[in-house]
Chains A and B, each alone.
Chain A
Amino acid sequence: MPGIRCSLLPALSILVGLAAPAGAAVFEPTAFELDNGMQVVVVENHRAPVVIHTVWYRIGAADEPPGKSGIAHFLEHLMFKGTEDIAAGEFSRIVARNGGRDNAFTSYDYTGYIQTIARDNLELVMRMEADRMTNLRLAEPDVLTERDVILEERRQRTDNSPGAKLGEMVLATQYLAHPYRIPVIGWAHEIAELSREDALAFYKRFYAPNNAILVVVGDVTPEEVRGLAETYYGVHERNPDLKPRKRPQEPPQIAARRVTYHDSQVREPSWRRSYLAPSRASGETRHAVPLQVLSEILGGGSVSRLYQKLVVEERVASAAGSYYDAVALDLSTFTIYAAPVPGGGLAAVEEAVDLVLVNLLASGVTETELTRAKDGLMAAAVYARDDLNQAPRIIGNALTGGLTIADIEDWPDEVAAVTAADVLAAAKAVLDERRSVTAELLPEQEG
């Protein structure tokens, strides 16, 4: 990765996810807890002499104090600026000198740190990661320079991209009260005011072993990980002042909302509609897995209803589909998107989507669709096991999103149990236009 202190892990959506044939577990992890409250999960995979060492903090952009948007992500960057033992910038250099790669990422519900390295170097990276859990030292000039870096990151990801700018407006419209309304990277004017003191205050408040999850995957045994974790993470004191994560919750949405954005850098319009939806951890959670199945049937591929209707049959769109993120600590969204064919307008697209939805809500889904969607979701788990990188992401995302190991491992069974009636009930509960935000991205208006 080219100099990317990555951040803003976007939709791992389908990932938790991913699962195996019914009755089969997904990753068969070993989980335990250190005396200081740090959670540990190990997945053995001996395919290559490699380990992936990750630490996930139960702290993300949705936990930031008002007016300090972007501080979780800023701190993530600053975690590479040194401790008493490790000079600024040395962390990544040491990892690289030992043949490893490292990175970090921030989302609404978590902040994560990752190193991928030869198995023999697990102790090295664990020692350094444990060190910076409590011993961060920040020099003012490093902080100011890094603030410029994240402002460039914001320009690159968002300000240079009309679609991303509209995306921010959509979330700010979708969520009236909940902090999911604020971009993970932060508003530019607030980033510009973030200080060293803000970062350190956030760090002291939230970075502690009892707010962290260690996920190690690869050519290692749970016993080895336990010994090392006790040595390096076990020495840290728990933070007794950690509070439960309670964010302001959404009021009921009773009126449809619409966001329209014209931008001189847009040549072709696009359309999407998102609905406030339960997640596996929040709201009517029984609808979450059926919503995953629904998303596959409605817009998960080229034989999905939206693609077949809008792109193949009506030929009003060049792309159409849906996505839904089942893992979120608080309410999630279910989104339908479509891009009109060149020269086409948004009205025809929206009308066609509405027809698909009316038909769905009237007649439900067929057994053929149901079987195909469920088989596809369950096969995704087998594919996920094939890639060492998937397990830490899926597990860390789930555990910081209010789920348990059992929720991950039982997921295939939950998928297998979904009926056509469950899917219809979930669709009726969620796909209510009064709870939606419709977004239009359009070229600049003439004159």
Chain B
Amino acid sequence: MNACTGHVGLSPTSPRPSPPQGAERENRRRNGVPLRPSGGTGQGRWVAAAILMIVALCVAPARAADIQVVTSQGGVTAWLIEDHANPLITVDIAFRGGSVYDPGGREGVANMVSGLLDEGAGGLDSRTFQTRLEDLQIQLRFDAGRDDFDGSLRTLSKNRDVAFDLLRLALTAPRFDAEPVERIRGQILSGLLRSQDDPDTIANLAWYATMFPGHPYGRPSDGTVETVRAIEIADLKAHVARHLVRDDMIVSVVGDIDAATLAPLLDSTFGALPAGEPRPVPAADPFAGGMETVIERPVPQTVINFGLPGIQRDDPDWYAAYVMNYVLGGGGFTSRLTEEVREKRGLAYSVYSYLYPMDHAGLWVGGVSTQNARAGESVQVIRDELARLREDGVTADELANAKAYLNGSFPLNLTSSARIAGLLTAIQRNDLGLDYMDRRAGLIDSVTLDDVQRVAKRLIDPAKLLVIAVGRPVGLGG
């Protein structure tokens, strides 16, 4: 009877989907009430997409020497960290290209594919496929974000070969039979309808729509009721054929398997995937006009999303921006925003910000929830903090504390196979190099007060702030 709310599946720690640093790998998966207990689809996905970047910016674990680069005879490459402490294997797969490639009017294709790959493949219909997973306790999941399409496989070592074969089938021979397609479509529609009045969802959708007008980044990743209804099986098959391709694939493996065993499994599992070809995405130009919009809803607490154009992962200022954001709103209990909004004034339970580097744009994103009567006050406090940071940068103490945390907490993400695999994927995805874990501390330590000041001037301009508030706020939108 730990359930205070009687719901299952609630995160025990944070009601907010955006931990400021650290590979909150599990959070990438699913939020909220499970529509389908294992895997599946749901309303949480869109929010979950915003979490991708956390993996991208953190970086944690082991010594670089522990990473083995395994390349199969057929030319499939995976990064591997062996760990034989438990009889388990974890595989992380990431394909470049998620909902950003959904056809216009068919938004939600990538998301729907992610819910259907394990619903029948090859000679196995949905029920047979699912039963085989459950009988062998194999966990197979897929997720679509904006820029990525991810998969994860967890299995007991004794079921290794069957597990890799089910992964192969899911990726290379999904059936898309009518029954599961309609069932999963129904679940997605149900989730979309259920979230239509959820203030967090409303704020999130409106914020991205305003930030990226006319660009795929501005569209809802899960689609809308209308577009999900319009998706045809041919759209799902087309997504698989075009985007689940070897040239865009990253594989990370952690656990009870060695390189010699893994190499042939890479060929048998991924060898049949097509090579792939380039697919352009229009350059994204985040909105920088400054705007405060209120969406009226009869709720006691106003949910506020705010943010600015940010910075991409390969920007030379990345580490300065990362340190800056830690001080501003990334540092949990220790951040300036938490201190001013929560600790001094009691305006909110949670206030946070994070950098969200996407493939074609960068963002700086934040959120806060405050009772309607004081919502305007919360936003003003945040604006004041942005102005102060832009004007004065951070103090030497703050800089030192930020570096101490960002470097000292590095090993904390080495505490599960899933976190380690997520880290390997993030390093590969961002081309950070095999030696990244050795270089990371130096990159952070080299950030100076001047660097932070410069990047604050470059990025943090309160006049450009985009604020979307959902509720009945006092003092906003006027």
| Chain B 75-96 per-residue mask, 1 if CB under 8 angstroms from chain A, else 0 | 0000000010111101000000
Contact of A201 with B by CB under 8 A: no
> Given A8-B5, A152-B349, A342 and B14 touching (CB < 8 A)?
no
Compute how far the CA of A10 lies from the CA of B2 in the bound complex, rounded to whole angstroms: 5
Contact of B123 with A by CB under 8 A: no
Q: In the complex, are the beta carbons of A93 and B334 less than 8 A apart? A: yes
| Chain B 276-317 per-residue mask, 1 if CB under 8 angstroms from chain A, else 0 | 000000000000000000000111110100000000000000
Compute how far the CA of A341 lies from the CA of B190 in the bound complex, rounded to whole angstroms: 7
Q: In the complex, are the beta carbons of A48 and B7 less than 8 A apart? A: no
Contact of B220 with A by CB under 8 A: no
Q: In the complex, are the beta carbons of A323 and B127 less than 8 A apart? A: no
Contact of B261 with A by CB under 8 A: no
Task: Name the A residues within 8 Å of B199 (CB-CB).
Answer: 160
Contact of B414 with A by CB under 8 A: yes
- Of B37-45, B242-250, B380-388, B446-454, which binds chain A? B37-45
Task: Name the A residues within 8 Å of B38 (CB-CB).
Answer: 301-302
- 20 A-B residue pairs with Cβ-Cβ distance under 8 Å, sorted by A, are A1-B13, A2-B14, A6-B12, A6-B13, A9-B2, A10-B10, A93-B333, A96-B331, A97-B405, A99-B408, A102-B333, A144-B346, A157-B15, A163-B33, A308-B127, A315-B186, A318-B186, A318-B190, A372-B134, A387-B418
Q: In the complex, are the beta carbons of A266 and B350 less than 8 A apart? A: no
| Chain B 394-410 per-residue mask, 1 if CB under 8 angstroms from chain A, else 0 | 00000001001101111
B6, B38, B85, B401 pick with most chain A CB within 10 angstroms:
B6
User: Which residue of A9, A12, A97, A267 is within 8 Å of B401 (Cβ)?
Assistant: A97
Task: Name the B residues within 8 Å of A328 (CB-CB).
Answer: 1-2
> Given A99-B409, A267-B197, A160 and B19 touching (CB < 8 A)?
no
Q: In the complex, are the beta carbons of A379 and B183 less than 8 A apart? A: no
| Chain A 64-92 per-residue mask, 1 if CB under 8 angstroms from chain B, else 0 | 00000000000000001000000001001
Task: Name the B residues within 8 Å of A323 (CB-CB).
Answer: 8
Compute how far the CA of A382 lies from the CA of B138 in the bound complex, rounded to whole angstroms: 12
Q: In the complex, are the beta carbons of B4 and A10 less than 8 A apart? A: yes
10 residue pairs, one from A and one from B, having the closest CB atoms: A99-B408, A148-B346, A2-B352, A328-B1, A184-B4, A379-B137, A48-B414, A388-B415, A387-B416, A92-B333
Contact of B332 with A by CB under 8 A: yes
Compute how far the CA of A11 lies from the CA of B13 in the bound complex, rounded to whole angstroms: 12
> Given A50-B411, A321-B34, A382-B86, A375 and B5 touching (CB < 8 A)?
no
Compute how far the CA of A42 lies from the CA of B90 in the bound complex, rounded to whole angstroms: 26
Q: In the complex, are the beta carbons of B1 and A163 less than 8 A apart? A: no
Task: Name the B residues within 8 Å of A101 (CB-CB).
Answer: 22, 332, 409, 412
A/B pair count, beta carbons within 8 Å:
317
Q: In the complex, are the beta carbons of B12 and A9 less than 8 A apart? A: yes
User: Which residue of A2, A144, A160, A387 is within 8 Å of B301 (Cβ)?
Assistant: A160
Compute how far the CA of A159 lies from the CA of B335 in the bound complex, rounded to whole angstroms: 27
> Given A148-B346, A318-B186, A10 and B12 touching (CB < 8 A)?
yes
In addition to A6-B15, A92-B334, A379-B156, 8 A-B residue pairs with Cβ atoms within 8 Å of each other are A10-B7, A13-B2, A93-B334, A152-B346, A153-B349, A325-B3, A339-B194, A389-B415
> Given A3-B352, A50-B411, A318-B186, A107 and B331 touching (CB < 8 A)?
no
Q: In the complex, are the beta carbons of B416 and A3 less than 8 A apart? A: no
Q: In the complex, are the beta carbons of A386 and B416 less than 8 A apart? A: yes
| Chain B 328-356 per-residue mask, 1 if CB under 8 angstroms from chain A, else 0 | 01011111011100111111111110000
User: Which residue of B22, B85, B187, B405 is within 8 Å of A318 (Cβ)?
Assistant: B187
Contact of A347 with B by CB under 8 A: no
Q: In the complex, are the beta carbons of A11 and B346 less than 8 A apart? A: no
Task: Name the B residues within 8 Å of A264 (CB-CB).
Answer: 298
